[in-house]
Structure 1
């Protein structure tokens, strides 16, 4: 048999998986849009998609060319989707700090913080600014009395507004991009109590929903004597801001942070509770059970119940995915069709990507879909095993349930681990063990009582469900606290290279989506991706955006920082990105690597001398002797025949600078150079 014939046989054998590749190709188009270093013209994106569509029509009878055109068209549509979304949400942003000014706005959302609340205000009025220069929305931390302000209220405060903070390291978390798609043009903090100008008589559905969520949160906190009531709020309403820092850190370090997100597990559990409870209630009536298909009625109840929970939870991406997938399965029950789980998940992914293409960049999207695709695909492989042992006695059924919990926890953990490590630069070695305790407890105890809490709340009887729910949460928190106290509860790994996560993803998709032996090519792709490994080679010098924090390489695996006080967030992010577990200060360095006086610091490493000039008096001498000049004064200077000089004004304009040198060459990267020209940086 020829190679062409073998390929044709494989293509035919894999026809059931064709649809699964649509969201994958669509997603490749979206990622391409976000990775290119310039902002494409929307007209060109539309023209390209239109030409490919015409090509598909013209060459519809030419097999190989048709397939190539269809693949290109889907990728192009993904690119166009992201480009169009960027154009549609464009809104002004603040360029400079306002200083303390009177600000008016309508509250769109309220979230809790450990030290107060956070308001997102729409239709802002900012003293001294014209309407043309106003952001569409601003986010303000409320540090004073909020006066009981609710969603939809028009308020006035004194506040200082700031431009959106840039990434603290080139390639780091891009908050301006995140804020751009939420149309937030400034952030700030209040210095006065909130004054309510008026409360509207008729508020929108979204405002009513937010107020309902706020009411549920307040009822839970009021009815709970435990500080872990805030975790119940996170599980039921999706609001994590009230959880104390230590508890949050213990949960993160122990590898169970996913339980705090309203995930597919939570929504699927809610749907299952409504389905089986509804079916049980309907079955209590002999007349209904004998004369009607109560299974279909229960499916309707589950769809409605899970949709209400989706709204109450704040509709995060993972819950949207689960709702779409669950609804498709329940609709299949109603219309007497056999649901295809993998296709349902693919439809869910495609719908989310069409309407919010930027979500593909979030850990929530990536980890949610990685886990569910892996669970469904690998369960299909293990199905004969589960089916065989489930036909035996009660003890073997209990064993098979326990094995199923271990199996699902392990699969979900392995599937999501690369994305967790990519985004958070660490891993939790005890995570699988912790999940074996926490996931069954959450599934079988905490969440059922959580649903009961919501159902009884309108009657003032929420404590019936809340008390046992809090009891289960207390066990989870104590487990997390114990695990986090063990030796090495979290391991720093540095930044995984983009090519690595891309190859792991593509390899995983090939292995999970295909059914023939060619699927094992996916394993080879994943193994190849691991060889690219980390992208965390420690640079020689890092200079923070305002030059208050500097880090220098003192050994192949460590950095010394100029301060342990300034720019704590930046310092923590640099440590995570480069897997620095035991950082030191300039004063703690050994030998002659760093020498400082009142006018300068000299840093010598790999036969290269860098001078951090703090006073202009040191400039002339160091121009002669140093290879690199970092001018930290406000007086802009230049040196003749100098390999590299960076002035403080350049740093403030460019953002964090990263310098790498060796073999007589210097490489300088900064935040602005990586994002220059994109809509979220220049609108």
Structure 2
């Protein structure tokens, strides 16, 4: 009897557990838990940052799905309706949050629509060699010459509706040019090139939002017109004067130091990076400190911090001021003015502008007695930056800067160094504890920032610097304690011509930074090249990062699910077996041993992008050659046994269409071509750069653009001229 009772009891308890695990009970329990967590988030005012997330989601929907340029009326009307609904849902927190999120999403979509329409300008339709006249809007000196941005007055016989508003050209002549000059010259221009591979960097899109409708080079002599037919616009005169001052200060800093130390020091102050050579750039990247030479959040925060500290220290010298005046707020206001002036002088780059917005909001919080560093302020900065430049959301600069700050704010309690405080210790003990806390804080913040930015850096650049923690820990103290204070003092001393010793001292610190970077570059595997993963994996990783950083409650642990799923997807990317250049000039196919074999003459920049996407460096010795190449074409056998042929001449079509499985050509293939897949001029004109993956069920074709897509920066090109009449573009003219 006892056994029966025990058994009966076990059955009853099992039935109760089964009832609790029923889908209905699970859904109710999860709903209750979510409601409690959302109420906790609302109580701590942590729902506001999600409005910035929803705003960004609307921008992504526009760029990912909109075909053509929709009217902003529809999303604005939808946003108003959602806002009205939110007003009626004030007593229902969940419905209120959903309505506000939808309103923010529609507003993001509308902002992207308005931005695209506001920057609309003609894009050059075909490669053109013609006389060019215009004003030099910006000039960057480089080792091999200069790079100019010209505001175009005339280009050959093109009508204004077909003429680009701005062009970016390389100049290797000897005539001295300055911003603001009115010049005429013969130019070779081509449309801004699209991505070298599907999912790769799209220069055409970035150029469109900067008003650049063509890229190329100046040919022959350049004439500077002292009496221009028309005066330059006021906006151009102001921009040219600032750019000329930047170039003058760049030369002064480089003259004070010389070599690459001078070039890097100048870039830290003026944002002009043209004099930094490729070796130094690679060294800085390998050490994980390339962000130091890009005017962004680090520079804005340090510049504002130096001005804030100096102003507050000087105001504190007066006892009366320190007691009766709010010197902290005065110093914050002066820091706001100083950092804005620094952003203007450094070129008002997109990344610098976003960093300025964030810095001004943090300093503004001091003026109204609010916490300076908070997720709410970060979300407000993101909303302002995205409303001004929605396209920035697609680039690595915005993604990495906001991800790093969000990670640091979320981990602030773990980075305050409480465990290393020496309460009651003597001077030596306090000094040691302070040094240990500073070192631990630097290492911890670097680790957090690298972990937060790694998904975006790997997605965009396919590289990872495992020793970046060491590089930042060793160089950032130099940058914070010597380089940036010297930069501020040098700019203040520059009008009095007393700045040369300051630049020399700054150069010593920069040399130390470069020495550390070169030492780290010598480590084995200092730079890891990883295969490119897709947008799906990045979306999961981004969602995981948002859930891990934005919530204050236990809701954040839900972020582990998409984060781990994203890591799994990124760790096993589907690598293409065939890469085809957007012009059909070259290709790379994976052969039996797993290596990529090149066919034809792929552009150097495109080949580098293919290798990086495949997880190989640009100097990888494993790159193979096609089995056979002659004057009319190339042939290679892919790893699945298919024959891939690249036809350089129409004479190759007869044999290639009969024997090859895939035919690639810059010209139009015969309609009767019997190959399984034909990638010719018509196909590439509609689809752009193409990749093919040989799956068991058949070839999976991925293209850089959708057929019939009508994006303003992707105007359908006209029929391409014969290869002999179409000069191959030099990738150095348009590479970022």
- TM-score, normalising length from structure 2? 0.85
Q: 2:733 maps to what in 1?
A: none
8 Å CA contact retained: 1:497, 1:535:
no
Q: Does residue 1:139 correspond to 2:168, yes or no?
A: yes
1:253 to partner: Cα distance = 2.0
> Which range is displaced more, 653-662 or 251-260?
653-662
How is 1:517-556 mapped onto 2 (pairs within 5 angstroms)?
Answer: 517-533=554-570, 536-555=573-592
**1:303 aligned to which of 313, 332, 336:** 336
8 Å CA contact retained: 2:194, 2:205:
no
Q: Does residue 1:629 correspond to 2:663, yes or no?
A: yes
- Residues 501-539 of structure 1 show CA distances to partners (whole Å, capped at 9, x for unaligned) of 111111111111111112111122211211111575333
In structure 1, what is the Cα distance between the partners aligned to 2:707 and 2:678?
20
1:262 to partner: Cα distance = 1.3
8 Å CA contact retained: 2:186, 2:218:
yes
> Which range is displaced more, 153-162 or 230-239?
153-162
- Residues 44-94 of structure 1 show CA distances to partners (whole Å, capped at 9, x for unaligned) of 333433443344345555554333222111111111111111111111110
Q: 1:361 maps to what in 2?
A: 394
**1:569 aligned to which of 605, 626, 631:** 605
- Residues 315-352 of structure 1 show CA distances to partners (whole Å, capped at 9, x for unaligned) of 33443344333333433333444445222221111100
SS at match of 2:525: coil
How is 1:148-547 mapped onto 2 (pairs within 5 angstroms)?
Answer: 148-150=177-179, 152-198=180-226, 203-204=234-235, 205-339=238-372, 341-383=374-416, 385=418, 388-389=421-422, 393-533=430-570, 536-547=573-584
**1:70 aligned to which of 94, 100, 125:** 100
SS at match of 1:131: coil
> Which range is displaced more, 156-165 or 364-373?
156-165
> Which range is displaced more, 315-324 or 488-497?
315-324
8 Å CA contact retained: 1:179, 1:185:
yes
1:554 to partner: Cα distance = 1.3
**2:109 aligned to which of 65, 74, 79:** 79
In structure 1, what is the Cα distance between the partners aligned to 2:522 and 2:708?
40
In structure 1, what is the Cα distance between the partners aligned to 2:422 and 2:52?
36
Quickly say closer, same or farther: Cα 1:586–1:12, change in 2 above 3 A: closer
Quickly say closer, same or farther: Cα 1:627–1:64, change in 2 above 3 A: same
Q: Does residue 1:9 correspond to 2:36, yes or no?
A: yes
Structure 1: gaps (5+ residues): none
In structure 2, what is the Cα distance between the partners aligned to 1:422 and 1:316?
22
1:438 to partner: Cα distance = 1.0
8 Å CA contact retained: 2:596, 2:624:
no
Quickly say closer, same or farther: Cα 1:662–1:596, change in 2 above 3 A: farther
Q: 1:658 maps to what in 2?
A: 691
In structure 2, what is the Cα distance between the partners aligned to 1:627 and 1:413?
45
Q: Does residue 1:116 correspond to 2:145, yes or no?
A: yes
**2:637 aligned to which of 604, 625, 646:** 604
In structure 1, what is the Cα distance between the partners aligned to 2:368 and 2:575?
58
Quickly say closer, same or farther: Cα 1:648–1:296, change in 2 above 3 A: closer
In structure 1, what is the Cα distance between the partners aligned to 2:286 and 2:315?
44
1:655 to partner: Cα distance = 3.2
8 Å CA contact retained: 2:599, 2:635:
no
1:671 to partner: Cα distance = 3.1
SS at match of 1:133: coil
In structure 2, what is the Cα distance between the partners aligned to 1:510 and 1:30?
20
- TM-score, normalising length from structure 1? 0.92
> Which range is displaced more, 84-93 or 162-171?
162-171
Q: 2:62 maps to what in 1?
A: 33
Quickly say closer, same or farther: Cα 1:556–1:507, change in 2 above 3 A: farther
Quickly say closer, same or farther: Cα 1:465–1:631, change in 2 above 3 A: closer
8 Å CA contact retained: 2:439, 2:473:
no
8 Å CA contact retained: 2:581, 2:690:
yes
Quickly say closer, same or farther: Cα 1:389–1:347, change in 2 above 3 A: farther
Structure 2: gaps (5+ residues): 1-27, 717-736
> Which range is displaced more, 481-490 or 237-246?
481-490
Quickly say closer, same or farther: Cα 1:264–1:614, change in 2 above 3 A: closer
1:407 to partner: Cα distance = 1.0
Quickly say closer, same or farther: Cα 1:340–1:471, change in 2 above 3 A: closer
1:148 to partner: Cα distance = 3.3
Quickly say closer, same or farther: Cα 1:193–1:493, change in 2 above 3 A: same
In structure 2, what is the Cα distance between the partners aligned to 1:257 and 1:551?
30
- RMSD, aligned α-carbons: 2.7
